[in-house]
Amino acid sequence: MNHAVTALALLAPLLQDGGGQEGAARIGPPADDGWKMLDAVIYQAGDEVITFLGLMQYYKYRLDAMNLPVSTQEEQNRLLDQALESLIVLKLESQAGEDQDLLTPVEVERTIDRFLENRRRAHDEGLATYATELESIGLTAIREKEQTKEQFYTQSFRDAGLTGPRPTRDRYVRPGELRRLYHERRAALSEPDQVKFQEIVIVAEAVGGVEIAKSLAEEVLQRLEAGEDFGLLNEEFSVTYRDTLGETEFFEMTKLPPAIEEFAATAKEGDLSAPLPITAPSTGEVRAYRVLKFLERRAGKPAPAFFDPETQDELRQDVLDLRDQLYLRRARLQLRGRAYLWNQTQTEATPALPGP
């Protein structure tokens, strides 16, 4: 495939509410409409693909290993997304470990064969029971060998990351990874319109009550319309921006309170607003009134196109940075796991020192 397919979009028709506890979510087959899904490619990670059945097997393995109950559809979607992200990294780590060429392919095959042979011999119930156990977790002998080889290469890569220089070929980023990050950050890549005002804020408590503050705001508006200087009126009445004669910084339109955004949407330079109430966020109680004069508008920029070269470079670096953060987090966990830690708690009061 030339692009990655979001896992949850593909899984959506296969997810349904299951039995057991009320509201529990489970994986189930789609309605019987004459079609039967065998498998599907849902992501490409480096040189390998992640299939629907492969993801579901890994997802169920994670649930069992972490003993996580799934009670809602939202929680199931979140865990599926985490499983996909983890599986992508595992695939890339395995490939990076193989690219290090620490051992020849023949030496790796011999190492894996010896490891699996020792594991089978150590099984208490015999080979037949061992094969049955593999089948119960969805593995065949061939797939077990492939999985063990992937784990071998993954561990080789992680060990090299802690003890030696990083390989260079694991820095490759698939186009699907770029597109996915682009859609996640598209809003952040755009620049909204920005606006600047002069403002006068009259606080109710400072002038004797809400009605007085409103009356003063209306008086200020009338004096401004009559031509009086905004800066001087700011010094006389306002509690904000007194050092700049009421002039504010630039504000993003998308972050303005609704009443101010509505005024700024159509305002032209020099336009005055009606007295606007300022309310307490928790109670909605009116605490003050403001009058605004519109000064300037800076036009924003839409998000750049996905195929813009600079955007591609930035996204590629972001993907690599996110990957590095994950590697660093895992390395720290590994180092902590290998360390000997203890907590010595004092259980007895410190005896008092003898007097002089």
Residue bearing the bigger pLDDT, 135 or 259: 259
Q: Mean pLDDT over residues 265-291, rounded?
A: 94
Instruction: Give the span between the Cα atoms of 14 and 31, in whole angstroms.
Output: 9
Q: Is the pLDDT of residue 147 over 90?
A: no
pTM beyond 0.85, yes or no: no
Q: Which residues pair with 49 in a beta bridge?
A: 44
Predicted confidence band of residue 328 (pLDDT cuts 50, 70, 90): low
Backbone angles phi, psi at 204, to 5 degrees: -60, -45
**Which is more confident, 107 or 278?**
278
Percent of the chain with pLDDT over 90: 28
Q: Has residue 344 got a pLDDT over 70?
A: no
Checking if the pLDDT of 159 tops 90, the result is no
Structure tokens at 355: 């007097």
Residue 288: its pLDDT value, please? 96
Q: Which CATH code for domain 194-298?
A: 3.10.50.40
**Selected residue with higher pLDDT from 319 and 333:** 319
Residue 22: its pLDDT value, please? 39
Tell me what pLDDT residue 132 has: 73
pLDDT at 219: 96
pLDDT digits (tens, 9 = 90+) for 234-269: 999 999 999 999 999 999 998 999 999 999 999 999
* Mean pLDDT of the region 207-226: 95
Instruction: Please write down the HEC assignment for all residues of the chain.
Output: CCCCCCHHHHHHHHEEECCCCCCCEEECCCCCCCCCCCCCEEEEECCEEEEHHHHHHHHHHHHHHHCCCCCCHHHHHHHHHHHHHHHHHHHHHHHHHHHCCCCCHHHHHHHHHHHHHHHHHCCCCCHHHHHHHHHHCCCCHHHHHHHHHHHHHHHHHHHHHHHCCCCCHHHCCCHHHHHHHHHHHHHHHCECCEEEEEEEEEEHHHHCCHHHHHHHHHHHHHHHHCCCCHHHHHHHHCCCCCCCCCECCCEEHHHCCHHHHHHHHHCCCCCECCCEEEECCCCCCEEEEEEEEEEEEECCECCCCCCCHHHHHHHHHHHHHHHHHHHHHHHHHHHHHHCCCCCCCCCCCCCCCCCC
Which architecture characterizes domain 7-154 according to CATH?
A: Orthogonal Bundle (1.10)
Looking at residue 279, what is its pLDDT? 93
Residue 201 has pLDDT above 50, yes or no: yes
Statement: residue 168 has pLDDT above 60: no
**Region 43-47: what's the mean pLDDT?**
73
Percent of the chain whose pLDDT exceeds 70: 72
Q: Which residue has the tokens 């590994």?
A: 334
Average pLDDT over residues 325-340: 63
- pLDDT bracket for residue 5 (50, 70, 90): very low
338 CB neighbour count, 10 Å cutoff? 8
Average pLDDT, stretch 55-78? 82
- Alpha carbons 81 and 225: distance in angstroms, whole number: 58
φ and ψ of 37, to 5 deg: -85, 125
User: What does the pLDDT read at residue 34?
Assistant: 59
Is pLDDT above 60 for 137? yes
At residue 335, the pLDDT reads 52
- Of the two residues 29 and 222, the one the predictor is more confident about is 222
- Domain regions of the chain by residue span: 7-154, 194-298
For 217-230, write each residue's pLDDT tens digit: 999 999 999 999 99
What would the two tokens of residue 19 be?
């039995």
Does 305 score more than 70 pLDDT? yes
What is the pLDDT, as a whole number, of residue 7? 45
